[in-house]
Structure 1
Amino acid sequence: MTYMISESTRSFEVDGAFPLSQGGKLDGVRVAYRTWGRPSSSAILVCHALTGSADADVWWAGMFGTGRAFDPDRDFIVAANVLGGCYGTTGPANAPPGGDRYGPDFPAVTIGDMVELEKLLLDHLGVDRLELVIGGSMGGMQALSWAERYSEMVDAIVPIGVGSAQSAWALAISEAQRAAITGDQRFRDGRYEPTQPPTSGLATARMIAMCSYRSADDFDTRFGRELNDDTYAAQSYLRYQGTKLVERFDANSYLTLIEAMDGYRVDPSAIETPALVIGISSDVLYPVQEVRALAAALPQAEFCLLAAPQGHDAFLIETNRLNRLITSFRKRLANGWNPSRPEVSARGAAWF
């Protein structure tokens, strides 16, 4: 199977072996990336979620444009497909130099490994300062890990819909998805043929995930108990989402990335970088209290609540309000505002 990669995507190959934090190394690592705006030594880094790609202007289109959070006339913007993905960066669907595709032999990677690979890409691009690192869900994990590892390089972060580690609830949802994929007879311990992937298992995993990405109110409002040809609209929606993912994603990559997410953990107290932490009112995957706790533990953070009915995925949908939050945050930082000042906590955290 060939995964759709934008014609605008470029590729960078790492010199030598790329070491992995859990041991071992990868040779011939390639990074698929996109850029917008005039090349500069300072940039905005946009980090994608589980099944995303470097095409941030596609999956987060509402964030791009004149006067918006990502303005190519003003900013140099970079996005890369993560290590272990299947949109051009080295992952299980690729082959090592001189070998067959990795498949289940692809080594375990961490969120930290993704960050280290992004750092090599930025070095290649001549970027030595990040004005902002931003992302939702797994992208938020990367943003926090960037600040933890490279505080001297990162001016500010915006993690959205994420905590400081995977909760037991999130781990359980990951396990249900994992079981769906590995239980498919066509999975064959990960050694499936590219032309015969475990479609049923991957589609089911996506359906499980979609239930955690949306909310009960959102489903009730959109679908209710509507029937079409003896099928409830909610059932049709989940089946459609499952089928769509099977057409564009690799099952071994999916397992690699949810394992990386499950192992993720940062120490918020050690992250001094100014942060705008955004929670989503209807998020059942990373509930508001979890995201608020992250903000409270960060020395220089402001918590903002995005009141939206769509659940975890609201960060991909409510882009007008996100734009206002992020542009305001950047303007205040540029004017010397510091989120650790006492007047910030006094004014209240939940807005928009």
Structure 2
Amino acid sequence: MSPKVAHNHVRLPQDLPLESGQVLPRPAIGFETLGRLNADRSNAILICHALTGDQYVASPHPVTGKPGWWTRMVGPGLPIDPERHFIICSNVIGGCMGSEGPASPHPVDGAPWALRFPVITIADMVRAQAGLLDSLGVETLLAVVGGSMGGMQALQWAASYPGRVRSVLVIASAARHSAQNIAFHEVGRQAIMADPKWKGGAYGAGEGPAKGLAVARMAAHITYLSEAGLTAKFGRHLQQGNAKSFGFDADFQIESYLRHQGMSFVDRFDANAYLYITRALDYFDLAEDYGGQLAQAFAATEARFCVISFDTDWLYPTAESKRIVQALVAAGRHASFVELTSPFGHDAFLLDTPGLNEVVDGFLKAVERTA
């Protein structure tokens, strides 16, 4: 039987201070919950989503109708189980699925924030999540879990709120954005801003820079895959047998696939939100506030950590995960690490990757036994 999912929308009771020095007035937060908080409030798990994700972790997406983005991991009998856990997943601030973002109405005039929206960081996203948990009466998390950008939020939780987290599960992530990561994001942002329909960010609803956003998605999507996976799935296969158009239509199957990914993305995502969230990722460097010493970011936490990487992930390669683990060991923290084999590249954390569910399940049950 499918778990009962509660979709909610709250406005935080207080303004949210941001790292930029600006303040976001009582931001709205869209989120979903599964399961129930137990009597001693010790079974809450916060799931943090990736760049293009949202709160619909285990329920159909309201725009696309597709299943939740992590139904392989979240559900009855699965590692994150609503029969054992109270599961929370919120849309990050800066997003476009119910949380305060550039498409939200500005509190003064009701028009979209657009580029009036302040630039945010991963730490700001986590601060908003902490406010949400306060409103839900959740003081301590059994675990904070995330893949990709979600993993960055999980690491930030350990640094910003060391007393509120019992365990941290980081999958296919990094403690900072590399120059290569920033470069790919800049290509995407420039594609959006070069689209005439962007209009300096002041486009109307349904009238945004669809072509620019689609190209940004196409460029990013390449980084989520592996060369071996692309070759196995598409190779150099043509769309029409052996027929070449001798033009610039989608001759190759991989071209058609990327165009489909790009155009389907614009139906569910806001272009300005893409600008803001990619900028938040680019600014992320957890060691920056600790004199460049990553281990110091973990000095105050007693949480147990599990770090997972994939051998074909070149966006956040295993070396980045090992850097996190080395810092945890230097800080004297309890850390587990595993590199899993997968042909799927970075997207392996979302797909049916052998061993992933077993590692997550084993880690969470070990944390529960130490309660």
Give the TM-score, by structure 1 length.
Answer: 0.90
CA contact (8 A) 2:12 2:27 kept: yes
Distance in 2 (alpha carbons) for counterparts of 1:209 and 1:8:
31
Which residue is equivalent to 1:310?
Answer: 344
Distance in 2 (alpha carbons) for counterparts of 1:185 and 1:284:
33
Q: 1:320 to 1:310 in 2, by over 3 A?
A: closer
Which residue is equivalent to 1:265?
Answer: 285
1:262 is matched by which residue type in structure 2?
D
CA contact (8 A) 2:142 2:167 kept: yes
Distance in 1 (alpha carbons) for counterparts of 2:147 and 2:272:
22
Matched, 1:329 2:339: no
1:326 is matched by which residue type in structure 2?
V
Which residue is equivalent to 1:297?
Answer: 327
Kindly provide the CA deviation profile for residues 94-140 of structure 1, in whole angstroms up to 9, marking residues without a partner as x: 11223211111110011111111111111111111101101011100
Partner of 1:83: helix, strand, or coil? coil
Aligned equivalent of 2:151, options 123, 140, 143: 140
CA contact (8 A) 2:32 2:56 kept: yes
Aligned equivalent of 2:11, options 13, 17, 21: 13
Distance in 2 (alpha carbons) for counterparts of 1:197 and 1:247:
11
CA contact (8 A) 2:172 2:346 kept: yes
Distance in 2 (alpha carbons) for counterparts of 1:70 and 1:333:
13
CA contact (8 A) 1:28 1:96 kept: no
Shift of 1:8: 4.2
Which residue is equivalent to 2:65?
Answer: none
Distance in 2 (alpha carbons) for counterparts of 1:326 and 1:269:
24
CA contact (8 A) 2:12 2:135 kept: no
Partner of 1:228: helix, strand, or coil? coil
Distance in 1 (alpha carbons) for counterparts of 2:154 and 2:91:
14
Structure 2 residues not aligned, in runs of 5+: 59-67, 245-250, 288-293
Partner of 1:315: helix, strand, or coil? helix
Distance in 1 (alpha carbons) for counterparts of 2:322 and 2:30:
33
Partner of 2:236: helix, strand, or coil? coil
Instruction: Give the aligned CA root-mean-square deviation in angstroms.
Output: 1.7
Which residue is equivalent to 1:84?
Answer: 94
Partner of 1:180: helix, strand, or coil? helix
Aligned equivalent of 1:64, options 67, 70, 74: 74
Distance in 2 (alpha carbons) for counterparts of 1:35 and 1:334:
20
Distance in 2 (alpha carbons) for counterparts of 1:208 and 1:105:
27
Partner of 2:166: helix, strand, or coil? coil
Kindly provide the CA deviation profile for residues 13-64 of structure 1, in whole angstroms up to 9, marking residues without a partner as x: 1123221121111224110011110134230000000111111110000112
Partner of 2:213: helix, strand, or coil? helix
Which residue is equivalent to 1:350?
Answer: none
Shift of 1:226: 1.3
1:284 is matched by which residue type in structure 2?
W
1:80 is matched by which residue type in structure 2?
S
Kindly provide the CA deviation profile for residues 133-188 of structure 1, in whole angstroms up to 9, marking residues without a partner as x: 01011100100000001111100111111111101111111111111111111111
Which residue is equivalent to 2:239?
Answer: 228
Give the TM-score, by structure 2 length.
Answer: 0.86
Distance in 2 (alpha carbons) for counterparts of 1:61 and 1:154:
24
Distance in 2 (alpha carbons) for counterparts of 1:50 and 1:334:
29
Structure 1 residues not aligned, in runs of 5+: 1-6, 338-352
* 1:1-352 equivalence runs, <5 A: 8-40=6-38, 41-42=41-42, 43-57=44-58, 58-99=68-109, 100-229=111-240, 230=244, 231-267=251-287, 268-270=294-296, 271=298, 272=301, 273-299=303-329, 300=333, 301-318=335-352, 321-336=355-370
Shift of 1:334: 4.0
| Farther off after superposition, 130-139 or 64-73 | 64-73
Kindly provide the CA deviation profile for residues 257-307 of structure 1, in whole angstroms up to 9, marking residues without a partner as x: 000000112133131422111111111111111222211211322211121
Shift of 1:249: 0.3
Which residue is equivalent to 2:291?
Answer: none
| Farther off after superposition, 253-262 or 182-191 | 182-191
CA contact (8 A) 1:155 1:274 kept: yes
Distance in 2 (alpha carbons) for counterparts of 1:336 and 1:98:
49
Partner of 2:204: helix, strand, or coil? coil
Q: 1:319 to 1:69 in 2, by over 3 A?
A: farther
